[in-house]
Structures are given as structure tokens and as C-alpha cells.
Structure 1
Amino acid sequence: MDFRRDPNRDAFREEVRAFLRERLPAALVGRKNGVRSERAELVQWQRILNAHGWGAPYWSSEHGGTGWTVQQRLVFDEECAAAGAPSQDNFAQKLVGPVLNHFATPRQKAEHLPPIFSGERLWCQGFSEPGSGSDLASLRTQAVRDGGHYLVNGQKIWTSYAHQADWIFLLVRTDPSVKKQAGISFLLVDMKTPGITVRPIISIDGRHHLNETFFDNVRVPMSNLVGAEGEGWKLTKFLLNNEHASAADLPTLLRMLNGLKSLARRAPAGTGSLLERHEFALRLARLEAEVRAISVLVQRVAAMEADHSPAAHAMGSILKLRGTELQQKLSEFLVESLGDHGAVACPAADGHFGAERETSRQDPLGDIASEMFYRRAATIYGGSSEIQRGIIAKMMFQF
């Protein structure tokens, strides 16, 4: 790929900043770390973006998206994160949306894509099961033909935001007699369908974004099958490569890095600032080099996907592996750099890190330590680091 700086990137960055200044309501500013925005905020922001023609920032113009380059998408993400704009529905924007664009029937596209643009339909992902997380091909949720419907029975777990979702994209086993990857199909299911039960999983910090989802004789029209029966694994590999590429979460890495720099300039250490301490400055410089490397790798993976390179899947796994490990390094270093204040300190609006504040289960997101604990899961969700290393080794052996 061409790594030369896009001469139009600075102009585009200013365009995004001007849009955010003019169109981002003050009431929507303040996205919390590691957590999707509340539904009302997310929907309102999606409608604002869509009215401006930016309703699908990651899609090609062929599919109704912005058609932005890789660098433009990165700039958009960086500036939205820096401005505190609400999140979008990434399950729709980055996962099921691209699957629909490439594999859905015209009827399916007509039914599901317009509500994604307007924010009227939020999605969740029904992949992991008890005992079938990183080894996704071992899933046991079954879909049996019953006239013009599938009868779905089984359980999914770690179903993020299922309690807010309108629809779920679901992996099911339609043929238990063949090789496990070959017997999987990809279904779209309305969450209001009788027989679906969602139970919350409350994490140790008091957050509710995870759920258990149960399917008890859920009748799903066969017209909700995406692709052919048994092609679910092919669609899953396509989808997961997008998930791996976005799992590095470059805007979050940049936010953490900038937080460390702000801390280093402000925090006293002896007779000077923390930044003047050689050990701290050296470690910070090394982490910044890693963030910049991730930024280049994000562009490289996106370019390989655009060229339909057979190595893109392995590169996506490399990005997921390195990006999530770096999230952990940065969040741990930030807490460590605050010393005794790390467990209770939170940054004020001006970026100052000196204030202490007790947090509670009703306000679990105010402290920096909370994000560090949240990021411990980054190397597990979306496919554990061990699984990613296996994918990399297998794919690279082929080349």
C-alpha cells in the first residue's frame, strides 16, 4: 500500500471538526470509556450523521456509505472520540451491515439497511455459547426446518447489548451430520419473536452490557437466512475479519496515549514533572511508537481487504492481537503512573489528573482503574489471543 501522507487529510480533518462543532449537541458530549452510548443518544447521533450524508462512514459509496478512504475513516473516528461524540451501533455499522451488503438478497437489503441508516434498528451478535467461545465452530444452537420456518433452540452468552437490540444476527447449526464448520448457517432474528429470553450479566464494576440469550422453539422465517444454508462459516470469517480490524480500537489507544502525555506534563515528580523522569519518558516513547505502528497496521489491513488479499484474515488477527495487548499496556501504565491515586483518581474536564474521588457502583466509570479492569477482557472477546496466534500460524504457513 501507499504509506505517503494524503495531502487532503488535514482539510478533511478540519471538515470533520467543523461538523462536530456545528452539529454535535452539547447534551450528547461525554462518551464514557469502554461503554456504548445510551440508546437515545446513539439514535439521535445516528440521525444527525445520516442527515449529513455520513450515516455509514465505513461503507463504500456503492452501498450507500460515504466511500471514505482508510485515512478518512481513521480521522473521523479520532475526531469523534476526541470530541466526546456518542458511539454508533458498531454491530450494524462494522459487522452485520457489511455482511448484508455483500451477501444479502435485495429483499433483505431493502428491509434491514434503511433502518441502520436511520438508527431505528439496533443489532446484537449471537455467536458465543457456553463452551463455544473462541472455538466458535463447536456451537450447539440448532435450527431445524419446520415448513417455511426454522425452529431455533439453544443459548448464547456474552450477548452485548441484547437488552437494547431490535434484531440479532445469529449463528445456528442447521446440519449436525457434516463437518462442524460446514453445518452452520447465518440467521437474522427479530428480538421480539416469542421464545427469546434475555437475562442480564452484571459485571463486577456494576455495568450491564452483557447478557445470556435463550431460544426456546423460536420460529424464524426461512427468508431470514443470509446466504445459502451451510454457508454461515464463510460469512462468519468475512465478519470476524472486520471485527478483528476494529478490535484494536485506534481512537481509544490515542485517547489513552494523550491522557498519559497530559498526566506527564502536569503531575509533579520530585522537583519537576513526571515527563522529566527519564524512565517514564522512555517508556512513554516506546508506547507511542507502538500506537503509531498500530495506526499503520490498521491502514494496511484495510487496504488488503479492499484488494481482497488472501492474507487479510491473518493480518486482521495480528491487528487484533497487538491492538488489544496494547490497550492493556496503556491502561495499566496510566494507573501505575498515578501511584497511590490510581485506584480513585479521575481526570477533570480540563484533563487534570490530580483530583481524587471515590466511585460507587452507581458511578462505576469515573475512575481510571475501572477501564484498566475492563481492558483485561480485550484479549479474550472477539477471539482470544491464543486463537489469534493459531490463525496467524495457520495462514502464514500457507504463504
Structure 2
Amino acid sequence: MDGTTELHQTPLYDLHLSLGAKMVPFAGYDMPVQYRMGVMKEHLHTRAACGLFDVSHMGQVILRPLSGDVADAALALERLVPVDVLGLKTGRQRYAMFTDEAGGMLDDLMVARWDDALFLVVNAACKDADIAHLRAALSDTCEILVQDRALIALQGPDAAAALARLVPGIETMRFMDARAFGDLWISRSGYTGEDGYEISLPAAGVHDFATRLLDMPEVAPIGLGARDSLRLEAGLCLYGHDIDTGTTPVAAGLTWAIQKTRRAGGARAGGFPGADVILAQLSDGAETARVGLRPEGRAPMREGVALFADGTGGEPIGRVTSGGFGPSVGGPVAMGYLPAPLSSPGTRVYGEVRGKRMAVDVAALPFVQQGYKR
């Protein structure tokens, strides 16, 4: 960021400082990258017990249909995303992505359906552009209400037991359920591969709510460092790294998010930006594919490492888009893109690190077993 640009602060900024957080610039905000426990222990604590994340930098938007019929908002949003929003049941949430005319992704997001509106959570770095995109395309159909609320995530196998002490009833929710508990808008979802919840609540109440959670012995504060290693082990994409306008949902391995009704022959096939490109790739495949990667040895392969078919010569055939050490895996893990014919698990390629080519094997994603409450 430009050094003259003032960073935004989330409503939990003072709490982060009191907990000894190391703060860093991220998506225009001053955010905690780690606390006193350190990234490795924070990661493992989340996998074993429960971690609390501040994600208030994310964008929260309500689409309220002008007609009063939430189906009209769903059909309107389908003009921008390739997923089945109309078929989303009340009280459920779905992963989606905004696409452009070339089939690339402008952002990925979560969409929840309420009785009278849709609730969207978009990425922090893209939220201004996303909101402008929504207003330009949907203002004829929806009132677009940007929410000034806090957002926290409670993740890990003990998340349900911890949150239920403060919000009885959340333990009955299934993965991707989305419900309102008074002023709390809660979904059973997250970005770690573990069971957990994302909780939107008024900014004025988040300090007290977060403190009550952190007073529980199984709950620890977790920063951006562990959030990244957790999502990488879970095989989850980070926008601007693993996915962007240069990658289609098919190349990115996100075809599971495009329901049959939006595909060729479906009841509401196409009708979204880049549909001709994406539908053709759904039929014929993409030239490249996002893959999991397991480098040999202990040295991580970071974003930007070039990938080669041969250990000694030749031109690059792909690159690493996310990489680091996987504490739960006990070794380096990465994701990247390779030509589709070389994307099968077990295929050996080579990453060039400091001028030396190191062996790396294509691996199945995710690297860790998911803990979602199905």
C-alpha cells in the first residue's frame, strides 16, 4: 500500500492490541497476522480445538427485492453469477463467483437466502468494486444495502460447543445453514476446512461477544497467518492468488459450484457473463487445471515459483499460486496451475527455487480431511 494511505481498523482493533497481536496491512485494513501463540500453534490449536478470527474487513451486502419477492432478487443475481440462486432454499447459503465476459472471476462470495432478501459476503480487497458491480447491474430490481457490521469466524471441532453456550440452538445447524438469532446472523461455514461458524453482528456488540468467547478455555485468537495455512491445507482458493480474472471456474476446479440448472440444457442455462466460455469448458474441459502440490523435502514453494515438466531444461508449464508449510500435514504444501494432461495426482513436475529445480508431485485436494457438519 501507499505509505500515505490511512489503514482502516475493524471494531476489534483495540482487542487485537490488548492480546499482543502483530498488526500488518491487509486489503486496506490494519489486521492481526498473529498473536503471542505464533502462527504454527494457532494453526494447530484451530485444528484441535477452536479459533476465533476477525473477518470484519469483508464486505457484507443485503439485496432486498423492490418487488418484495426474494425470487426476483435471486433471478437478478443469476445475471452475474453462474450458480443456482433461485433454487437456494430459505436458511441456506451457497458459494458463488462473479464472472466477466471472458469467463474469468471478478471475485468469489457467499450468498445466503432469507425470507425476504439475499445476504452476500464478499472479499475485502474487492468489496468496493463488487458493490459498484451490483449497483450497476441490479439497481432496477434490488435495493443494495451495504452493512456496517462486524464479522467474526469461530472455527474448529469445539466451535459448536463453545458458541452454543452463548447462542443456544446453533448446534442443530448443518453445514451451510444460515439463520438469524436476534441481531446475530450466523452461518455454519468458514475458511479452514473445519466445522465452524461465521457470525455477523452489530459492531457495537462485537468486543463483548468476542471477549466472552475468548474467556472459554478452548477458544484462542487466530491471525491471518494461520488463516492462510489453514485454508491452503483445506484446498480453498484465495482470490487474487489462486483465482482471478485470468482463471475460469472450470480451470480452478470449481465446477461443483455450478449447478445443473445453469449448465447447458438446464432450465436457466447461461445468462451470466462469460457463459459461452464457461459452458464450453464444462463440456470440453479447460486447458489448465488448479492442482495440489507436494514439494519434496521441507522447503516450501511460495507463490510465483515456476513449474517445469523436466528437471533440467525446457520452458515453464505452470506456476505456484499459493504455497507454504502445512503444520497439520507436517511438510510443505502448495497449489498452482498446470496443463490439464499433467494434472493427475502422482504426476511429477519441478519447481524452480533460487535457480535450482526441485521435485514436486501433484497431489489430491484437500490436503487434510474436512470436518464439516453435513
> TM-score, structure 1 length as denominator?
0.27
Of structures 1 and 2, the one with the larger relative CO (CA 8 A, separation 6+) is: 2
Q: Which has a greater percent of strand?
A: 2
Bigger Rg, which one: 1
> TM-score, structure 2 length as denominator?
0.29
